[in-house]
Amino acid sequence: MDYAQRANAVMSRIHELACISEDPHCVTRTFGSSAFISGCSKVMKWMQEAGLQARIDNIGNVRGRWPSTQPNARTLVIASHIDTVKNAGKFDGPMGVIMGLDLITHLQQERINLPFNIELIAFSDEEGVRFHTTYLGSTAITGKFNDALLDKTDSAGISLRNAIKTMGGDVDQLAADAIPEDEWLGYYEIHIEQGPVLYEQHIPVAIVQGIAGQHRIRVRFHGMGGHAGTVPMEMRKDALCATAEFILAVERFGLEHNKDLVATVGTVEVKDAASNVIPGEVTCTLDVRSTDQVLLKKARRYLKDIASQICAERQLTADWDIIQKAKPVECDTALSHLLAQGITAAGYNVKNLVSGAGHDAVMVGAVAPVCMLFVRCYKGISHHPEENVEVADIAAALQVSEHFIHRLAEVYKKR
């Protein structure tokens, strides 16, 4: 089977998995939902059909292992995620998992004796939609899971602990699912770019040099609710107006530093909202990203001060809760060099990019060398139903990835 045929088979499975959704009108598959559980079962079945040692671990990661015949072999993890944002595209995450399965299947058909194990992982929660904390699956794999998160609750008041139990997981065994640090060989992820560079430059693939650090913060403004018809304008303590002012301040700061940083308020929740009630409490989420760790810290401090100033002027108070902090990650030079050789061998020019989006590689980077391959996507659109990838670009990525695995095997055999 040539790469175009393989790419079509990959595309078929991407569409098949996209049909498993919480919403019949769009792709939504959030952590722990019935659609998510069905999607995991589908992916595990595909892994089993490929002859992998497949299982679903306690955090909901789907894991398929192809062991090496060599004793004490280390493990190369090929991974991405299968959870989605709400009203998502089909390719963000699942493409990397399904392409990884295709790679392993065809390496097996070559009867190649790799000097390392390969473990394919479909991570359970990279997006962080349900519990507002990303990388649940990869933190468990790397042994970095924070048990304090088990008490976090979703919008329905269900704790992460109970969500894991509902999926059939055992919270007391999460640590046992980790791959020990000394067993890692490396980490490889194929992912859509989620940006327009490759699309505009007509390039099918690129090497990821690094991943931006990310801070997620929950800001809750406390004012005073009241009757919309009876409280004079000058006497109001409107939490929504304070939030609006803060949102615009975040935008201004982002524009002032637009070459090195992005800042976004993605959600706003008005407590006890009604058209005839002055908002007394409003919660919003702040997402700040940069490859510059110093600037990232500076931004967080500055925006916290801005929130305090707004409150002082409006006679409100605010809670500032850091939900998650992830440092910028540099991809491994040696693995990226082999990936560059794979791109050249496949007949393409080498392009390097930095990822502004977060990936599970951020967590894995703390315990193992990581590398990533970006694949061109339509106009750079992502987290949206119009997200799309051409079959030809999937074929290119498969070819590059195969060259990469062969070169990694050659290097590792010499050690």
Q: In the chain, what percentage of residues exceed pLDDT 70?
A: 100
Q: What is the pLDDT of residues 183-194, one digit of tens each?
A: 999 999 999 999
Report residue 156's pLDDT band, with 50, 70 and 90 as the boundaries.
very high
Q: What is the pLDDT of residues 40-89, one digit of tens each?
A: 999 999 999 999 999 999 999 999 999 999 999 999 999 999 999 999 99
Report residue 326's pLDDT band, with 50, 70 and 90 as the boundaries.
confident
User: What pLDDT shows up at residue 1?
Assistant: 63
Q: What is the pLDDT of residues 79-123, one digit of tens each?
A: 999 999 999 999 999 999 999 999 999 999 998 889 999 999 999
- Rounded average pLDDT over 202-216: 95
pLDDT at 290 > cutoff 70: yes
pLDDT at 304 > cutoff 80: yes
Report residue 323's pLDDT band, with 50, 70 and 90 as the boundaries.
confident
Distances (CA, A) of 94 to 13, 81, 190, 229: 9, 6, 10, 51
1-5, 33-37, 173-177: range with lowest mean pLDDT: 1-5
Q: What is the pLDDT of residues 241-262, one digit of tens each?
A: 999 999 999 999 999 999 899 9
Q: What is the pLDDT of residues 363-401, one digit of tens each?
A: 999 999 999 999 999 999 999 999 999 999 999 999 999
pLDDT at 201 > cutoff 70: yes
